[in-house]
Structure 1
Amino acid sequence: MAKQKYFISCKDYLVSGEEFDLFWNDKYEILETKPIPLKLPFYYSSDHYISHTDSKSTLTEKLYQRVKNFMLNKKLDWIYNYKTTGKLLDVGAGTGDFLIEAKNRSFDVYGVEPNEKARGVALHKDVILEKEFKDLKELKFDVITLWHVLEHIPDQEEELKALYNLLADDGILVVAVPNFKSYDANYYKDYWAAYDVPRHLYHYSQKGITDFFYDHNFELVEKRPLIFDSYYVSLLSEKHKTGSSNYLKAFYTGLKSNIKARSSSEYSSLVYFFKKEKI
């Protein structure tokens, strides 16, 4: 077992108000949330958990949905650099919007989403999502995507084994996660919304995720920044820190984070493109 040391304590601002500790895993330069709650679904039981709804009731939610819709096409443009057709699996598919757009762009689409509420919203859009990997049986996928999903999964080792087995030999695995070495993370510290404990169980640096995937037979082929994430995360972080959304301050912090990342590459969130290494 890798040696761990205390890094920071963060509060669950969404559901419980509880405090959780983050520990540094020196082997992979990854932070781990401790303890992992036994009843994780409880911590998703909020009408304000936006990835499980299509809510547009607040200005923040309206901004989120607008950016999400813009990014659907951008994400598929990136994938088109590798694959333009074939079977696509979205893990943690939420309410199904990415799969709808992927289907419109000629992919044969599948999705996995453990949250019953989100699956119900997707079903109203005629998107059928499976609850678990085992429901996919013996399928092989040309593209597998995890958009801000990996950090939620308790058993990372088993997840990567499952992804390896599901991905076609010439397939591409696309993983988006927050970056705890970004400027906005360092600025907001324990108020940084992308720590999102205890829903986010693991927190990655660029080196950490690259090394971790390499040790599980995936080779990094490309990285891309998610530049809008710094603004949205800063908006939520401002509310954690001050009790107010403070849109101008959040925009300034998000902009500063992106400007600094031009030279450091430490964007608030990044998308990683992996291919399989033969075992």
Structure 2
Amino acid sequence: MFTPIHHYHCPACNSDKIEYALTAKDHTVSKEDFDIWHCNQCSIRFTQDIPTIDQIGPYYQSANYISHSNTKKGLINQLYHLVRNYTLGSKARLVKKYSGQSTGRILDIGAGVGAFASTMKEQGWHTTALEPDSSARAEAKKQYGIDLMLPNELYSFEPQIFDVITMWHVLEHVHDLQGYWKNFNRVLPVGGKLIIAVPNYTSSDAEHYGAIWAAYDVPRHLYHFSPASMAQLAGMHGFSIVATQPMWFDSFYVAMLSEQYQYVVTRYLPAFWQGLKSNFAAIMNPNKCSSVIYILQKN
């Protein structure tokens, strides 16, 4: 048991116009149910009655939690690794394109086992990476020879010390949402880039799967973003969105997991079809993709 955090106001915009939206199950670890609430002011959703930062650790303790264990168990995780080898390069190109720099100082928050941080280091960037999980930090040291720092280091960095901050599917895990945004502003110069990738609960695959949608991932995902909520949150902290990009492979990965949660075994054809539908919608509008990369600039 844990002492739950109950939100009486929206954790993003502080509005009291919040209400229950749905109940989702933790399929990865505990099999417990968690309520998800919706803010009618900024449209963010958030997991209600979550464990505190000191108590949430056990909900990450699973051999199947890929960002911490680097597991290749099962076909879905094998496909994840195959795709990751491609996406690491595309992420590096994205950083260079929007920063306008071939090298610089980058901070990667929530580095997992350090694959992206290692990629940027190999390409000549002065790379700092933060990761809370001790097993992931150990794996990063073992596999890539890099030392990951604890997340609380974010609060003690010198002002305007980084050119770029990246968070690949991390912001949804952060307890101190407002504190992180304040420090993003502090450690970046004017014009500095903040690149955030998060699931999008307004995507077509999220609509199709409803409460079974794998990217709700309660209680590890504390927040569930829409493009509108990201824009409002960014604006509150002195950032503006300069571009968005879809994460094409996430649609298929999330659909496969959702099918597995719903039917015990993964129905690959329906999963592929739902991923494809989500991506078709995103061709015309990146904000319709299962996961969205937001490229933000400090004003």
TM-score normalised over the length of structure 2: 0.90
Alignment gaps of 5+ in structure 1: none
Instruction: Work out which of the residue numbers 140, 153, 159 in structure 2 matches 1:134.
Output: 153
* Matching residue's letter, 1:12: D
Instruction: Work out which of the residue numbers 87, 95, 109 in structure 2 matches 1:71.
Output: 87
Instruction: Work out which of the residue numbers 218, 224, 232 in structure 1 matches 2:245.
Output: 224
Q: Residue deviations 1:64-101, cap 9 Å, x none?
A: 01111110000111111123211111000000010111
Instruction: Work out which of the residue numbers 219, 223, 239 in structure 2 matches 1:202.
Output: 223
Write out aligned runs for 1:32-71 (5 A): 32-38=46-52, 39-71=55-87
1:143 lines up with 2:164 in the alignment: yes
Identity of aligned residues (%): 39
RMSD of aligned alpha carbons: 1.3
* Matching residue's letter, 2:232: D
Whole-Å separation in 2 of the counterparts to 1:134 and 1:112: 8
Q: Report the CA distance between 1:264 and its aligned residue.
A: 4.6
1:274 partner SS: strand
Structure-2 change in CA distance of 1:142 and 1:264 (3 Å): closer
User: Which portions of structure 1, spanning 4 or more consecutive aligned residues, are displaced by more than 3 angstroms?
Assistant: none
Whole-Å separation in 2 of the counterparts to 1:178 and 1:108: 28
Instruction: Work out which of the residue numbers 118, 121, 124 in structure 2 matches 1:100.
Output: 118
- Quote the residue 1:256 is aligned against: 277
* Matching residue's letter, 1:101: T
- Quote the residue 2:18 is aligned against: 4
Whole-Å separation in 2 of the counterparts to 1:165 and 1:90: 16
Whole-Å separation in 2 of the counterparts to 1:37 and 1:183: 29
Q: Report the CA distance between 1:25 and its aligned residue.
A: 1.2
1:118 lines up with 2:118 in the alignment: no
Q: Report the CA distance between 1:172 and its aligned residue.
A: 0.7
- Quote the residue 2:3 is aligned against: none
Whole-Å separation in 2 of the counterparts to 1:84 and 1:132: 26
Q: Residue deviations 1:109-154, cap 9 Å, x none?
A: 1100000010000011211100124276326111100000000011
Whole-Å separation in 1 of the counterparts to 2:256 and 2:196: 23
2:41 partner SS: coil
Whole-Å separation in 2 of the counterparts to 1:134 and 1:57: 33
Whole-Å separation in 2 of the counterparts to 1:224 and 1:253: 19
- Quote the residue 1:276 is aligned against: 298
* Matching residue's letter, 1:263: M
1:168 partner SS: coil
Higher strand content, 1 or 2 = 1
Whole-Å separation in 1 of the counterparts to 2:122 and 2:136: 21
Whole-Å separation in 1 of the counterparts to 2:105 and 2:246: 25
2:73 partner SS: coil
1:247 lines up with 2:261 in the alignment: no
* Matching residue's letter, 1:76: A
1:85 partner SS: coil
TM-score normalised over the length of structure 1: 0.96
Instruction: Work out which of the residue numbers 38, 43, 46 in structure 2 matches 1:29.
Output: 43
**How many residue pairs were aligned?**
277
1:161 partner SS: helix
Whole-Å separation in 2 of the counterparts to 1:169 and 1:260: 34
- Quote the residue 1:236 is aligned against: 257
Structure-2 change in CA distance of 1:108 and 1:58 (3 Å): same
Contact 2:71–2:77 (Cα < 8 Å) also in 1: yes
Whole-Å separation in 2 of the counterparts to 1:202 and 1:120: 27
2:78 partner SS: helix
Instruction: Work out which of the residue numbers 133, 149, 164 in structure 1 matches 2:185.
Output: 164
Whole-Å separation in 1 of the counterparts to 2:285 and 2:148: 38
Whole-Å separation in 1 of the counterparts to 2:114 and 2:262: 32
